[in-house]
């Protein structure tokens, strides 16, 4: 299970600033961000593909959180005010055959982020917001191309330099 790190803390601090009726988290991990969402939203739904994370969250998160084992948002068909994710974003390590899906996001690091965005955009309320963690270690220009294609725009809400990368949380919404 992914142990909360700088990226998790940056997203949970940002999520504190949002309120609404319903929120979705893709890639819940230990539940550190879902726990914040529970304090600000009436309905909270989380997904992950890693069974141990889901089992841990089942026993540690408030009972009203819905926890679903699925790829991205593939099993979900309702609209949300807020969708959040701290996706795996490191570029694949060519030397390593077992690129852990909790931290490696594809050949240029951004592919899983793009997959999460494509999977969730249809679930976003017209006035809703998506919060996603990005790193300078992944190829962010591919995200910018997808946003143009999907009629979405982004702005940076929080940014933090750590010793080998800059992390940011961007807010994405319909134009
Ligand atoms: C960087 S960790 C973030 C965990 C937690 N949200 C946090 O911030 O500490 C990414 C999470 O995404 C999950 N994940 C990876 N691929 C996924 C997919 N296709 N669908 C759903 N979850 C996925 C991983 O299992 C992992 O728990």
Backbone φ and ψ of 129, nearest 5°: -135, 145
Strand pairing of 165-174 and 124-135?
antiparallel
Cα-Cα-Cα-Cα dihedral of 55, 56, 57, 61, to 10°?
130
Strand pairing of 90-91 and 80-85?
unpaired
In the chain, where the domains are located: 7-174
**Å from CA of 74 to ligand 1 middle:** 14
CA distance 84 to 38: 13
CA distance 55 to 58: 5
119: its two tokens: 């999977």
pLDDT in tens, 72-91: 999 999 999 999 999 999 88
Which CATH code for domain 7-174? 3.40.50.150
Please give the number of the atom of ligand 1 that sits closest to the Cα of 72.
Answer: 20
CA distance 138 to 166: 10
Residue 98 has pLDDT above 80, yes or no: no
Name the residue with the closest Cα to ligand 1, atom 11: 27
- Give pTM, 2 decimals: 0.96
The neighbouring-strand residues paired with 43 are: 22
Is 33 near ligand 1, meaning CB less than 6 Å away? yes
Residue range 104-119: mean pLDDT, rounded = 94
pLDDT in tens, 39-69: 999 999 999 999 999 999 999 999 889 999 9
Q: What is the pLDDT of residue 163?
A: 85
Is 31 near ligand 1, meaning CB less than 6 Å away? no
Residue range 105-124: mean pLDDT, rounded = 95
Is 14 near ligand 1, meaning CB less than 6 Å away? no
């Amino acid at each position: 299970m992914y142990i909360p790190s700088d990226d998790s803390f940056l997203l949970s601090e940002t999520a504190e600033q949002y309120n609404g009726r319903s929120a979705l988290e893709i890639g819940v991990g230990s539940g550190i961000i879902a726990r914040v969402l529970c304090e600000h939203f009436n309905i909270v739904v989380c997904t992950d593909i890693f069974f141990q994370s889901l089992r841990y969250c089942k026993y540690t998160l408030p009972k009203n959180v819905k926890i679903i084992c699925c790829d991205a948002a593939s099993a979900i068909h309702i609209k949300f005010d807020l969708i959040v994710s701290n996706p795996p974003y490191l570029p694949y390590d060519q030397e390593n055959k077992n690129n852990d899906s909790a931290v490696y996001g594809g050949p240029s690091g951004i592919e899983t982020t793009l997959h999460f965005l494509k999977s969730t955009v249809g679930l976003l309320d017209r006035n809703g917001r998506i919060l996603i963690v990005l790193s300078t270690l992944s190829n962010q220009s591919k995200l910018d191309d997808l946003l143009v294609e999907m009629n979405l725009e982004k702005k940076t809400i929080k940014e933090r330099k750590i010793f080998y990368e800059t992390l940011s949380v961007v807010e994405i919404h319909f134009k």
